[in-house]
Amino acid sequence: MNEIHFDIEAFLAIASAITFVGWIIAKLKFKGDAEAPEGFVGALIGFGYSFFPVFIFVLVIRTFVFEPFRIPSSSMMPTLLTGDFIYVNKFSYGLKMPVTHGTLIETGHPERGDVVVFRYPLDQSKDYIKRVIAIPGDTVFYDRRTKNVFLNGEIVPQEAMGSYDGFHDDISPQGLNLKKEALGEGREPHLMLTHNGYDNLFKNTKMTVPEGHYFVMGDNRDHSADSRVWGLVPERNLVGEAKFIWMHWRIPHFFEGLKRIGSKIK
């Protein structure tokens, strides 16, 4: 059963439905709003006539095409930083109904390495962003000691690149190690971070991903609560694929941050 969650999408759907009534009345009975009666009723009809096209346009774009998001935490460093505003393609993984989020038309499925936005399974009023590590049918194993990922019995290659000295958010960059990780043939390796030592937050994790679910992790591996902690992401929770950074805004390192604008997310 599809659950309904009240968010901005739900507000737009309700506003579209209410103003549609005013638009219909104005069109059929008052030939637009020119002949609408004066007073409160007339004002409501005029409001619906004027704003229904605006609400329905924004709802369609936000539901089926794209949605802007702001990165709120450091869990995807160094790929994404706090203050990045990203473009999310909502067409990548299917056209979905507003509010209930049921799939109308399938247009594709996440692949290993995709950076995806999804509704947090434990609180669907929140949007999270992580990288897809394993897809349905994969057996995934995370070794907390070596910080390696194994897919279907084979280690996911990691290349050490030395200490990380780039931008940092709410954690100290000291002790962070920059690496490249390759999640499959034909896919460009992505950057990731690990920290010296290990945290009791994470345990060795091994599972076979069932149909309709995805195993996701943050690129800042030791500072990301993800599928190692709270489990898998159901396919119906997917919002879209993160494509590029269209704006960066934060006071520290402001001008350096602006150089990130237009960067492709990979």
Same domain, 95 and 188: yes
Distance CA 150, CA 110 (A): 19
Separation CA 109–CA 130 (nearest Å):
15
Q: Is 3 part of any domain?
A: no
Q: Which two tokens stand for residue 115?
A: 């950076």
Residues 225-257 have pLDDT tens digits of 999 999 999 998 999 999 999 888 776 667 777
- pLDDT higher than 80, residue 217: yes
Q: Report pLDDT for 252.
A: 67
Residue 10, pLDDT > 70, answer no
Is 176 found in the same domain as 113? yes
For 111-164, write each residue's pLDDT tens digit: 999 999 999 999 988 889 999 999 999 999 999 888 999 999 999 999 999 998
Question: CA 141, CA 207: separation in Å to the nearest integer?
Answer: 7
Residues 231 and 182 in one domain: yes
Q: Which of 23, 47, 65 is the last residue of a domain?
A: 65
Q: What pLDDT does residue 137 have?
A: 97
Q: Are residues 114 and 234 in the same domain?
A: yes
What integer pLDDT is reported at residue 3 of this predicted model? 37
As a residue count, the chain comes to 266
Cβ atoms of 126 and 112 closer than 8 Å: no
pLDDT number for residue 13: 72
Confidence grade of residue 18 (pLDDT, cut at 50, 70, 90) = confident
The domain that holds 110 is classified in CATH as: 2.10.109.10
Residues 37 and 91 in one domain: no
pLDDT for 80 beyond 80: yes
Q: Closest by alpha carbon to 26, among 39, 9, 44?
A: 44
Do 59 and 24 lie in one domain? The reply is: yes
Within this chain, do residues 59 and 81 fall inside the same structural domain, yes or no? no
Residues 41 and 117 in one domain: no
- 60 and 155, same domain (yes or no): no
What is the domain count for the chain? 2
Give the catalytic positions in this structure: 75, 130
Helix 8-28 and helix 40-60, axial crossing angle in degrees, nearest 10 = 130
Residue-range definition of the domain harbouring residue 24: 8-65
pTM: 0.78
Residue that has been written with the tokens 């995709």 in this structure:
114
- 107 occurs within a structural domain: yes
Question: Are residues 95 and 46 part of one domain?
Answer: no
pLDDT given for residue 166 in this prediction: 78
- Mean pLDDT of all residues in 166-186: 77
Same-domain check for residues 152 and 35: no
How sure is the predictor about 170, in pLDDT bands with cuts at 50, 70 and 90? low
Q: Are residues 82 and 98 in the same domain?
A: yes
A 10 A CB-CB count for 121 gives 16
Whether residue 95 is predicted with pLDDT greater than 90 in this model: the reply is: no
Distance between CA atoms of residues 245 and 265, nearest Å: 7
